[in-house]
Amino acid sequence: MTQNVRKKGKVDTKAIIINYLRKENKIRLSPEQEERLAEAIIKAKAKFEKSISLLEKRPPGPIPGDLFWFEVDGRLSFWAVIIEHPEDPELLYTVPADKFPLIGSCDVLIPTEALFGPLSVRAGYGIWLRSGFLKREGHRFGFLEKEFLKAVHSKIAELVVGEIQASEEQMEIDDDPGYILQLMEIEQLVNVVEKKAISFIQESPKKPIVITIKEKKTDEVDRLETLRLAASTQDLQSDIKKIKSSIKIGAKKYRIKLKYPGKLYLVDHKGKIKLQYFPIKKGSPPTLFVFEGKKPVQVLWKKSQIDNSYISIKSLKWKKNEISLQVEDFPIIIKKKNNTN
């Protein structure tokens, strides 16, 4: 029996769908099943149209919340952009996502009700990717709405501080063999993408950043700053003695300003040049190379016994009043003025 496809002069979409189902469907459905299926199709269509409309209005990106897909070794992979680096907006913290339904302690479920759900976001496997890499390799297909992006932020914060909030069901899923196999595949996927991202950086040489340094002798301000770093330790007096004895009076200290978290200095003491890096909180020093010949040599760091800084083990040398470095993927040329003593 065919339903009337017009209702009060308007097209009845549900009736059209039901007529189509009756015509094409080889499995006999009850009227109730036809109604439910037709309603589900109408809702899916409305969701699709709304999501496409909102995606078209979104800034070009990539920006936090964006969802990308790209092919990795013949497999389709999904990625969610979560955070911009505070010192470099072109560097984006990105986490993998998939359609595998099990949600463990370190995951966030993006439900079916979300515009681009359902998705399982694996918050524990995030990596930093360049905006240009995502543009070249990926295709933006959607975005996380604010409430779901906030949920991923919260989960990452839990992972950072080591206080993971999880239900008993999630903790049980952590030990599920199928779930463990899925995480192993994700880990392999992340490793492949990281290698591709490194290759992208190597294939995209940047114009060197030229920094002309100004001489600055270690002064009372530097001493006070160093003393303040020690103030949080238990044996303050002995630390002050160590710091005072370690300060090399007359050393030249140059700030190398670049888009990288923390502070990087070049310290010149009687021609013996070292790099000193002060991280933010308990961060690690950057991957840094120095060009003394044709090939770059990686700088090795040692942790200072006095403060929170790292000092390069090997001394650097001026070559025609220049030192060439590469911090992560940024080439840097440090120039010294000829009249600098």
CATH of the domain at 175: 2.30.30.110
Q: What is the pLDDT of residues 121-146, one digit of tens each?
A: 999 999 989 888 898 888 999 999 99
Query: Quick check: is 249 in a domain?
Result: yes
**Can you give the pLDDT at residue 10?**
53
Query: Quick check: is 267 in a domain?
Result: yes
Query: Quick check: is 223 in a domain?
Result: yes
**Can you give the pLDDT at residue 189?**
92
* Residue 156 backbone phi and psi in degrees, to 5: -65, -40
Q: Are residues 22 and 147 in the same domain?
A: no
* Final residue in a domain of this structure, among 169, 203, 237: 203
Query: Quick check: is 109 in a domain?
Result: yes
Q: Are 138 and 69 in contact (CB under 8 A)?
A: yes
* Final residue in a domain of this structure, among 153, 171, 203: 203
Q: Are 123 and 153 in contact (CB under 8 A)?
A: no
On the question of pLDDT at 280 being above 80, the answer is no
Query: Quick check: is 1 in a domain?
Result: no
**Can you give the pLDDT at residue 169?**
96
Q: Are residues 174 and 71 in the same domain?
A: yes
**Can you give the pLDDT at residue 208?**
67
Cα distances from 303 to residues 245, 246, 261, 312, in angstroms, run: 18, 14, 17, 9
What gap in Å lies between CA 65 and CA 142, rounded to an integer? 9
By residue range, what is the domain housing residue 31? 6-57
Q: Are residues 217 and 240 in the same domain?
A: yes
Segment holding 156, helix H or strand E: helix 146-161
Q: Are residues 142 and 88 in the same domain?
A: yes
- This prediction has a pTM of 0.55
Q: Are residues 88 and 186 in the same domain?
A: yes
| Count of the separate structural domains present in the chain | 3
323: tokens are 């030192």
Q: Are residues 267 and 313 in the same domain?
A: yes
Query: Quick check: is 114 in a domain?
Result: yes
Which of 40-49, 95-104, 230-239, 308-317 is predicted least confidently? Answer: 230-239
* Final residue in a domain of this structure, among 185, 203, 221: 203
What is the distance between the terminal CA atoms of the chain, rounded to a whole angstrom? 97
**Can you give the pLDDT at residue 79?**
96
On the question of pLDDT at 299 being above 50, the answer is yes
What gap in Å lies between CA 72 and CA 85, rounded to an integer? 24
Q: Are residues 31 and 126 in the same domain?
A: no
Which of 82-91, 138-147, 208-217, 241-250 is predicted least confidently? Answer: 241-250
**Can you give the pLDDT at residue 107?**
96
On the question of pLDDT at 300 being above 90, the answer is no
Q: Are residues 232 and 154 in the same domain?
A: no
**Can you give the pLDDT at residue 20?**
64
What gap in Å lies between CA 94 and CA 82, rounded to an integer? 6
Q: Are 211 and 332 in contact (CB under 8 A)?
A: yes
Q: Are residues 213 and 289 in the same domain?
A: yes
* Residue 109 backbone phi and psi in degrees, to 5: -85, 125
Q: What is the pLDDT of residues 179-229, one digit of tens each?
A: 999 999 999 999 999 888 877 765 655 666 677 765 544 444 344 444 444
* Residue 311 backbone phi and psi in degrees, to 5: -125, 135
Q: Are residues 213 and 309 in the same domain?
A: yes
Query: Quick check: is 341 in a domain?
Result: no
Q: Are residues 49 and 106 in the same domain?
A: no
**Can you give the pLDDT at residue 237?**
46
Q: Are 218 and 248 in contact (CB under 8 A)?
A: yes
Sign, CA torsion 128/133/139/142: positive
